[in-house]
Structure 1
């Protein structure tokens, strides 16, 4: 008996080590060893043991990082990957398989077809622009009421960068050229979807940045990070894709259901599936939620179309009374219809939620292709929402001495005041603040983090200036920015991500900070955001928002006030109250956030951007529609991408979810990614389910591996690398230390060591801010001899 077991194990070993690569090399069909399902429903299908080493120099990666593996006829055998099963990848992040690449290489687009497509593209753009200009003469096409929910939403997605409009038109030109070539059968549907059009030049080429010798400091707009792909991650470039888009016309038209019928209204889906409810998280606090929004604003800001004069486009009559008639509707409109019997909006006789599509970004290589939406922020975690993404913006925020400008409010430094009329209150004494992305007033808890990081910049700048008296103010500013960006990245990777994703996902994607320098830089890793991350996975945060924020008063020993979040949107004047900053910071540390589930507070699903009206925008419906705008495929396709079984029947969902899903969707293949992701049980040790966890982990892995200026990269990679002793000090930094160093100190005198966990958790009780339990960074390592 023992000998037979020994022989079995020996044969298994020889199969994995020797036979498996031989089978793989012979191009056998992909056999996988994968875990399907989640939670107690998980089950294992063992078809063939994974290979221990990938053949032909293939890389063993998580399945989400090799999209070609879901293609029919793909060649991606399973492999061992640090405790889990990945796939051997030979085509990188390309959506096409090896055979599809070879097939495309033998074809070429007829030059005459290209010329015709250019001409037709320009004619079509001229027609669209002329029509839009004529529509501008009709007042219903623009949002004229600055207190309407539509205007508030517009403020959250508009770009003030003058380059966006011209680049957006260039993106349309290349899109129209692709549509013309497709209509002439000069390029195929697969060529477009798989991104195999790189040799088909479009009529518009975006200007390329001038990249000189390697700069010690990362650029303001994110350009010139990668030596060979200088626009990767830059502001006003397009979101990338984990999977090819699902546009109903293959290029830009919004996705339809599997049957070909229109998908259910995003508001109908939201109303049926995204419910109001309170489910406090047992461990994570509201600071975790708020820091997540702070990260999201830094790296993602979809830029919507505007009218030619820069005003907000309206797709509804009188802010929602009805849809505009087709002849008065702008080409960028995709309004969300409201059912007449909608239990909330129906009482205000609203039939339409305004929704304007995201601008199209031209490909950096001038090629034609399907629509890729434009990101108005740099794609890197680089604090662009603090410093701005343009020279002009940064210049307006800088002060003398290497400092950032502040509003000194009777001895308390707050972000500088803005002249934009975006805050609800304009009475004397009201405050409305400036930020690098112009979005810092959306909610007052976000304004608080802008305040902390503004103060931290100035604290560092003063200290660096004192220990390096020969530095001029430019040197002080840029060195301070470099250090603060490193602090921000370290907090993300060392504190925030582990609590979001859990230990196994962190290990699988190699996201933990290294001992000393990291050796993970990959010049082939594109750090640009994926559409799936931006429109769905990272928007898990809307589920964890609590409908009310509690403001405690430690000196009084009681709750000072409890405020509904709709009363804190674009109303940051409370920041001027002397005790408010400290009290809110204490409240964010102690109050639990909500768990990730299909429940969203009515402050977001009914009153977002209400502007003083009795109703606002439904943010859940906006999320669903934005995913469709970006061509994000259905939820099932991303389950398949990460190696989970797809749902073929609604009854495979939990009973309560199944009952609601079947009332709005025709088929499980129609379920929107954001909706499906919220229905998943969390990964062990995480707060999100497997689909969102993989999409988010993939994104932050590419941020780490594809960013030459990532704080852990050494001088062999990073022109602005820290010395080993400086990096050691940076790795002491925690958000709790930033809070302690930049609080007002009126009522906040102690802080929980782990800033993202509830202060009432055993072992995380607040300690005095001068305690060594919250370590401080020794800036003497930055003294220049």
Structure 2
């Protein structure tokens, strides 16, 4: 269902595979898109407002010491983090479960990935960026309250830029540095299948002739359910059980469609869930259509899994984070494919707005038993103890205790005086020997990308600009926090967009304020409407298949691929056990029988894999 145009476009190579369900679908796909690179991998992120580089071309905000903004220097990111962001605890929001937070990270990894200049190239030696000196590609973050020499900075590598000249821009913007999104901007389950044909091939069970994804050959859960396969390059750098015997098998980093899969246990859990869902659907389609080849089974299953990602995200997730009213205003009902909608990820969405979820990161990961109580075998973990630790899932009960903890724990809430837990200042980053601070990294990344300030983005969204402390108090809802922000930034136009969006009062029934609701809603509408292969688009699925897909839910997927027997009917909602939980037997699922006989047709080599469609009655 996807195309490859020099750079990757929806994951499948152009002129190698052309897939469809019927002649009408072939006809619908016959036209070449007007803008074939929109949404593709390895292209520049879109600018909704012009970049603000200090030299007009590439130097990030804060690069030149002494540079004044509205008469003041920008505060160092770590100072902002220490004085405004940090809290030793977080309040709980009993409306939503922690799954709302974890899905946000998971689907973000399906939409954006900004590579960094942190490896050796033909032009640059491998940098370590540990010294407090701005020298490309290093833009180190000074630790608040220290002097400027090596041990007083956190290393920071600038984002990779694209080799691109925008001839449509004016001369001042034509050669500006533009950051790259290295994956497709579509919701296309690239986190499951990768964003290139080569990645997809390495993840498939080619030898099994089953249309399935490869699974781990060394470990399985006690119930026999599969884990993700290990990465090819061994030994990996993932952490190991400190109490393991010397003769035990290592639990290496897992392999998936997105290389960030091992960052945390909830993320590994969701990746594992989708691996199993693909293989479950592939098994069912093989039983229904014995004549289908492994290639047809794989591609049809991938198409269904991609649709499930789209449905769960746009129907069940986005309205909760921006609020139903904002969803209707910025996204609205689906009206069909719009060839003028550019689905490419915007810089402000990837670098600021969709990082709203960092304010909801929980400091504790709970693992629960079948009664949704603390599992005495597996005590709660501090956040920093979950990073790059796949061994914990393999040796400590599989994914079920973690999944129950995610859906059975109330999500942490955002308030202006409790923005981020102290645990986010203890990030573990492979190849770096010190803990990193998430808030500082986010602020520095926004400056690296030369994002305009908070007030400019409010104006972009039609919101009033902040001019006084009273204006900010009205937006934030807390006078002390508003005063502290202006005390640190000195001028309202200097406020970083990520911080400003994060401190806004939440809209009713949402997890974001007006600015981020605007930016996220605008991006999601473009991602949906600019996708020719959106699940609701003409010719992608039959009406009967659409009706079945609409029955799907994350709760059903959890039921089908784990030993969890009771769930909340909406896994993003928090409920008390057992009163708010239902048996998996009562959760509707997809009837895959409607895929019987609707065999996909693939052009493989020089021939069709099945009888090609014929024109009749014309």
C-alpha displacement of 1:254: 1.4
Q: CA 1:468 to 1:625, structure 2 compared with 1: closer, same or farther past 3 Å? A: same
TM-score norm. by structure 2 comes to: 0.83
Q: Per-residue CA shift, 1:486-510, capped at 9, x if unaligned?
A: 0110011111111112111111134
The whole-number CA distance in structure 2 between the counterparts of 1:597 and 1:535 is: 21
Equivalent pair of 2:166/2:175 in contact (CA under 8 Å)? no
Q: Is residue 435 of structure 1 aligned with residue 256 of structure 2?
A: yes
The whole-number CA distance in structure 1 between the counterparts of 2:492 and 2:384 is: 34
Question: Which secondary structure does the structure 2 equivalent of 1:552 belong to?
Answer: coil
Answer 1 or 2: which has greater helix percent. 1
| RCO higher in structure (CA 8 A, sep ≥6) | 2
Equivalent pair of 1:224/1:231 in contact (CA under 8 Å)? no
Equivalent pair of 1:217/1:482 in contact (CA under 8 Å)? no
The whole-number CA distance in structure 1 between the counterparts of 2:140 and 2:432 is: 22
Q: Per-residue CA shift, 1:212-243, capped at 9, x if unaligned?
A: 5994379xxxx999711111111111110221
Which of residues 640, 643, 656 in structure 1 aligns to 2:459? 640
The whole-number CA distance in structure 2 between the counterparts of 1:641 and 1:460 is: 44
Which of residues 265, 274, 277 in structure 2 aligns to 1:456? 277
The whole-number CA distance in structure 2 between the counterparts of 1:498 and 1:761 is: 25
C-alpha displacement of 1:761: 8.4
Q: Is residue 499 of structure 1 aligned with residue 310 of structure 2?
A: no
Equivalent pair of 1:553/1:559 in contact (CA under 8 Å)? yes
TM-score norm. by structure 1 comes to: 0.66
Q: Is residue 412 of structure 1 aligned with residue 230 of structure 2?
A: no
Which of residues 618, 626, 639 in structure 1 aligns to 2:437? 618
Question: Which secondary structure does the structure 1 equivalent of 2:306 belong to?
Answer: helix
C-alpha displacement of 1:418: 1.5
Q: Is residue 593 of structure 1 aligned with residue 411 of structure 2?
A: yes
C-alpha displacement of 1:601: 1.6
The whole-number CA distance in structure 1 between the counterparts of 2:395 and 2:584 is: 22
Equivalent pair of 2:365/2:380 in contact (CA under 8 Å)? yes
Equivalent residues in 2 for 1:111-260 (5 A)? 212=15, 215-216=18-19, 227-255=33-61, 257-259=68-70
Partner residue, 2:139: 334
Q: Per-residue CA shift, 1:74-118, capped at 9, x if unaligned?
A: xxxxxxxxxxxxxxxxxxxxxxxxxxxxxxxxxxxxxxxxxxxxx
Q: Per-residue CA shift, 1:383-430, capped at 9, x if unaligned?
A: 112111122211111003110011152422000011442312286333
Equivalent pair of 1:275/1:600 in contact (CA under 8 Å)? yes
Partner residue, 1:402: 211
Equivalent pair of 1:608/1:619 in contact (CA under 8 Å)? no
Q: CA 1:770 to 1:418, structure 2 compared with 1: closer, same or farther past 3 Å? A: same
C-alpha displacement of 1:210: 8.5
Equivalent pair of 2:13/2:197 in contact (CA under 8 Å)? no
Equivalent pair of 1:751/1:768 in contact (CA under 8 Å)? yes
Q: Per-residue CA shift, 1:191-229, capped at 9, x if unaligned?
A: xxxxxxxxxxxxxxxxxx9955994379xxxx9997111
C-alpha displacement of 1:364: 8.0
C-alpha displacement of 1:627: 0.8
Rg comparison, structure with higher value? 1
Question: Which secondary structure does the structure 2 equivalent of 1:316 belong to?
Answer: coil
Q: Is residue 352 of structure 1 aligned with residue 153 of structure 2?
A: yes
Runs (5+) with no aligned partner, structure 1: 1-162, 168-208, 318-322, 513-517, 716-720
C-alpha displacement of 1:608: 3.9
The whole-number CA distance in structure 2 between the counterparts of 1:501 and 1:651 is: 25
Which of residues 125, 130, 144 in structure 2 aligns to 1:316? 130
The whole-number CA distance in structure 2 between the counterparts of 1:228 and 1:464 is: 34
The whole-number CA distance in structure 2 between the counterparts of 1:684 and 1:536 is: 21
Residues paired across the two proteins, number: 546
Equivalent pair of 2:72/2:490 in contact (CA under 8 Å)? no
Q: CA 1:311 to 1:473, structure 2 compared with 1: closer, same or farther past 3 Å? A: farther
Moved more, 492-501 or 301-310: 301-310
The whole-number CA distance in structure 1 between the counterparts of 2:201 and 2:331 is: 37
Partner residue, 2:198: 392
Partner residue, 1:768: 583
Q: Is residue 702 of structure 1 aligned with residue 526 of structure 2?
A: yes
Partner residue, 1:687: 511
Equivalent residues in 2 for 1:288-303 (5 A)? 288-303=100-115
Partner residue, 2:187: 381
Equivalent pair of 1:493/1:511 in contact (CA under 8 Å)? no
Equivalent pair of 1:608/1:618 in contact (CA under 8 Å)? no
Runs (5+) with no aligned partner, structure 2: 1-5, 22-28, 63-67, 169-173, 599-618
Q: Per-residue CA shift, 1:686-717, capped at 9, x if unaligned?
A: 110000000000010001111101111012xx
The whole-number CA distance in structure 2 between the counterparts of 1:642 and 1:390 is: 35
Equivalent pair of 1:231/1:364 in contact (CA under 8 Å)? no
C-alpha displacement of 1:519: 3.1
Equivalent residues in 2 for 1:563-602 (5 A)? 563-577=381-395, 579-598=397-416, 599-602=419-422
Equivalent pair of 1:283/1:761 in contact (CA under 8 Å)? no
